[in-house]
Amino acid sequence: MKSRRSCRLICFASLAFFLIGFVALSSRAMASPEDKTFHLNVSPNGYPPYLIVDGETPSGIMWDAVLLIADRLGYTLMAEKIPRKRVDQMLLDGYVDGTPRAIEWTEQPERFLFTDPIVNSEEVFFIPKKSAESYESPADLFSKTLVTQLGFHYPPLEPYFSAGTIQRFDVSRTRDMFTFVLHGDRFHAAVADRLVGQWILRNEGLQDEFRTSREVISQYGFRIMVTKQWADFVDAFNNELARIRKNGELDAILANYR
């Protein structure tokens, strides 16, 4: 008798926890701009110096800029750590409100809205200084292997990856890209944002181990990507972004991480 009662209590408790969780997720999925809370994806490992998640609270160029603008617009900014491969669908489902992104890095970008660029992202080749090779264009890398970021899209290089003339080797953490290139004989260069690479190398004490290509592979505006229900927010965000760009507040944020 006691055993049956315990079973019933356990089942009831499990059901209660399930219902609480379901209601919480449902209410989050139905969140809207009217809630005045903006849930920004910062990813589990961040993307320094744009997104830094090592401390108690996030920081970085994108976080600081969005925090400043959100506060001016009367929004509370909350950090969410969503993996890159899941974030687009979770954005569409309403579990997160925005994520830093370039239009060019996005599959089916027409599904989303994008703010004006907060900062430009410059992608370059990072090459070990001990290497005698010089990589300034994709043609210089034919039959070579590049270390790339898992889940990232590289429009200028995609035709070569698809054709197999250049190989890509994906890693999940940006900082691991440089370890593979430095210590792996079959890897020739890493593709990374210039600021991101310089930040990691400086913090890892590897700044003297790499050089960068003179030519920029690509340059894209780094924006905040949201769903279309946030159209009014995007308009207000862009107006405030233009204001802090003009009055020097955005330059002050950039200076903190350069």
Average pLDDT over residues 214-234: 94
Residues of the chain with CATH 3.40.190.10: 27-119+220-255, 121-219
Length of the chain: 258
Domain 27-119+220-255 has CATH 3.40.190.10: yes
Determine which helix (DSSP H) or strand (DSSP E) holds 155, and give its type and residue range. none
C-alpha 97/C-alpha 117 separation (Å) is 17
Is the pLDDT score of 20 beyond 80? no
The CA-to-CA distance between both ends of the chain, in Å, stands at 69
- pLDDT value, residue 22: 40
C-alpha 190/C-alpha 207 separation (Å) is 14
Each residue of 128-183: pLDDT tens digit? Answer: 999 988 888 888 899 999 999 888 888 899 999 999 999 999 998 888 999 999 99
C-alpha 128/C-alpha 179 separation (Å) is 10
129 phi, psi to nearest 5 deg: -65, -25
Question: What does the radius of gyration of the chain's CA atoms come to, in whole angstroms?
Answer: 22
C-alpha 223/C-alpha 120 separation (Å) is 9
C-alpha 217/C-alpha 220 separation (Å) is 10
* CATH number belonging to the domain at 121-219, selected among 3.30.830.10, 3.40.190.10, 3.40.50.300, 3.40.50.960: 3.40.190.10
Among 15-24, 87-96, 136-145, 234-243, where is mean pLDDT lowest? Answer: 15-24
- pLDDT value, residue 198: 93
Name the residue type at position 88. D
Confidence label for 55 from pLDDT (cuts 50, 70 and 90): confident
Is the pLDDT score of 223 beyond 50? yes
> If DSSP codes are grouped into helix, strand and coil, which group holds residue 53?
coil
Is the pLDDT score of 28 beyond 60? no
What are the Cα distances from residue 223, in Å, to 160, 185, 200? 27, 36, 22
Is the pLDDT score of 201 beyond 80? yes
What's the farthest any 2 CA atoms get from each other in the chain? 79
Is the pLDDT score of 100 beyond 90? yes
